[in-house]
Homo-oligomer: A and B are copies of this chain.
């Protein structure tokens, strides 16, 4: 496909506008530099080792993942500084985590993981100790205590519960207490900039209180990690967070674009599209060949991206394999049979997970050419 025009891309297909993606990457890199903060973008979003390496070249310190199997896919593809920003409880999976910690260390990288229970710490320590026995290599894993700063999902309560976990971690020589994870996922999608600010202010207060308690015991809190594309400027400006996990900035989906932008937030552009084709036409609507097996709709239906000369269209759910396009209010425009429709996915992470590859196009969506194929290395990696 390399060198072929956009028109030759079979539909539906996931297409990256490489020019827009590069601009987003520069914006993020400059933002992190300006704030003097590390960024460890979340690879749960793109699941692609090549993109992780491109981000590393732009200054990222490594990647986050949510799943052990994602970490395995990334390490296998040569991305060896990996933080599993999530809890792992199954002993068989923890054995894989421990094995992966050794593999990553042997390649000059490192593995880190989050915990939110004493039982989780004990099981992790046991797995790490077992892995040491096998090889004699004394690999240590960085462990972050996850505190719940408002999401209401994982994480212990800020304060003494977190301190207790830290004390438990420090009992185990194979575990290194590396800091706190304080991620408010809900806050990312709060539309009002003021409300997002309130949410992250509370998160920062919870972190400060917890850090104070831990440091009061003479235990240093190495790093506070968290933040997503929706709120990252608030964590970056907090003086408390040392690392940003934002991932979606690279592609910017329709959902994040609905947030009222804080003036201090970089203006990221849509860089990920589903190329679709009109395959049935009718008075008042046309049908394209991309449904929710081509793009995730958990955060809303896709937007239709009109190129120059095209009228505005609204996308309606047509089921797993179809999308129904109607003229937007005030327009009568409908594309002809066989024409291309460009969709901006509602949510990039689960959309990417539906595809084996992302097709990188340079020179724009109308006249561009395919420059690079990105394999979705961790597609379907959910264990």
Contact = CB atoms under 8 A, between A and B. Distances in A.
Interface of A: 8, 10-13, 44, 66-67, 86-90, 92-93, 116-117, 119-120, 148, 152-155, 185, 277-282, 285, 287, 290, 292-294, 296-298, 317-322, 324, 337-338, 349-350, 353-356, 379-380, 382-383
Contacts of A280: 87, 89, 116-117, 153-155
A97 to B, nearest CB: 13
A353 to B, nearest CB: 5
A148 B89 CA distance: 51
Given A10-B383, A292-B298, A320-B349, 6 more contacts: A12-B383, A89-B277, A89-B278, A119-B337, A153-B322, A154-B287
Contacts of A383: 10-13
A90 B153 contact: no
A10 B154 contact: no
Copy total for this chain: 2
B90 A292 contact: no
Contact of A320 (B66, B277, B281, B319): B66
Contacts of A290: 382
A287 B153 contact: yes
Contact of A380 (B153, B285, B355): B355
A46 to B, nearest CB: 13
B319 A153 contact: yes
B292 A296 contact: yes
Contact of A321 (B66, B119, B285, B296): B66
23 contacts: A10-B90, A13-B383, A44-B321, A67-B321, A86-B279, A86-B321, A89-B279, A89-B280, A89-B337, A90-B338, A117-B281, A119-B337, A152-B324, A153-B287, A154-B322, A292-B298, A292-B350, A293-B349, A293-B382, A354-B354, A354-B380, A354-B382, A356-B380
Contacts of A92: 8, 10
B90 A293 contact: no
Given A279-B89, A287-B154, A324-B153, A293 B13 contact: no
Contacts of A90: 10-11, 277, 279, 338
A253 to B, nearest CB: 12
Contacts of A337: 89, 117, 119-120
A290 B383 CA distance: 9
A301 to B, nearest CB: 10
Nearest to A294: B382
B278 A93 contact: no
Contacts of A282: 148
